[in-house]
Amino acid sequence: MSEARSVELEHKVFPDGETYIRLTESVSGERVAVVQSCYPPQNTNLVDLLFILDAAKDMGAKKTAAVVPYFAYARQDDAYRSGEAVSARTIARLVETAGASHFLTVDIPSNKALRFFKIHSENLTCMKLMAEYLRTLPLRRPFVLAPDDGAISLAETVSKVLGTDHAWFEKSRDKVTGTVTTSGKDVDLTDRDVIIVDDVISTGKTIANTARIAKKQGAQTVMAACAHLILAGDAEQTLRTAGVTQVVGTDSIEAEPRPVSIAPVLAEALRRIW
């Protein structure tokens, strides 16, 4: 594969709030990776993604990969109540219509959201890199916990690299109020440094519930290691109150520097699919 280059974008927002996008160089005949994470403001970032894909297609790009580290709306992968918009499907249709030939994302809660893509789509994981970072921390007898069954594979990956045990709790969410209820499992966490792993922290309630139960079951310390730290509203306070002493995340969301970069995962996938 020839050396990759980056293309400058002209991006501005008009006084009325509309977005303007322009690629400043030709990408004719080239393979173009549009890297646009769709964290809050999700809708604005999604529009940027669609406009860039469309402009690249117009310019004659040979292939265009939509690389979306945080896939907004991936959780709404079905109509769980009658009449609900299947938002993940709408996004998939828009991304395809805008000209993407490939779709790459990282650690979405379930691969179910990918069934809407007719183009090549993949859910990559950053959990090996996360585990490598966790291995550098001074943890005593670490124990890896998944807060729900959707995170079991993440916990397995992390615990394998750390050479330690893992378990998962059961979680349910009220479809109307969004209230999260967690029930623990009979695991002895006495004197263990517990790492709760998940794909995303939004309100923090999933991790907070799990942390409280882990503490009751003897955990010495509780930390969270998640791919996407959305940390909506007072999530950080919610986590602190529940006894979570450290939160580790990646650079999938533009925020203060995070210790784990997902760039190697994306680069490897692009090399493979192209």
**Within 151-170, which residues bind ligand R5P (CB under 6 A)?**
151
The span from the CA of 76 to the CA of 74, in Å, is: 5
Query: CA nearest 112: which of 123, 101, 96, 125?
Result: 123
Binding residue (CB under 6 A) for ligand R5P from 69, 99, 142, 150? 150
3-state helix, strand, coil in the chain (%, to 5): 30, 25, 40
Interface with ligand R5P, residue 77, by CB under 6 A:
no
Asked if the peptide bond before residue 15 counts as cis, ω within 30 degrees of 0, the response is: no
Q: Which stretch binds ligand R5P (CB under 6 A): 10-18, 58-66, 143-151, 182-190?
A: 143-151
Q: Is 171 a catalytic residue?
A: yes
Residues binding ligand R5P: number (CB under 6 A)? 16
Per-position DSSP letters for 156-170, written without gaps between them:
HHHHHHHT-EEEE-E
Q: 111 is written with which tokens?
A: 């691969």
Interface with ligand R5P, residue 205, by CB under 6 A:
yes
Rg (CA), the chain: 20
Q: Which stretch binds ligand R5P (CB under 6 A): 85-93, 122-130, 147-155, 264-272?
A: 147-155
Distance in Å, CB of 20 to ligand R5P, minimum: 33
Interface with ligand R5P, residue 180, by CB under 6 A:
yes
The alpha carbon of residue 213 and the mean position of all alpha carbons in its chain are separated, in whole angstroms, by: 25
Binding residue (CB under 6 A) for ligand R5P from 69, 99, 142, 204? 204
| Catalytic one of 62, 118, 128, 171 | 171
CA 227, 229, 234: angle at the middle one, nearest 5? 155
Q: Which residues are catalytic?
A: 171
Binding residues (CB under 6 A) for ligand R5P: these are: 75, 109, 147-148, 150-151, 180, 198-206
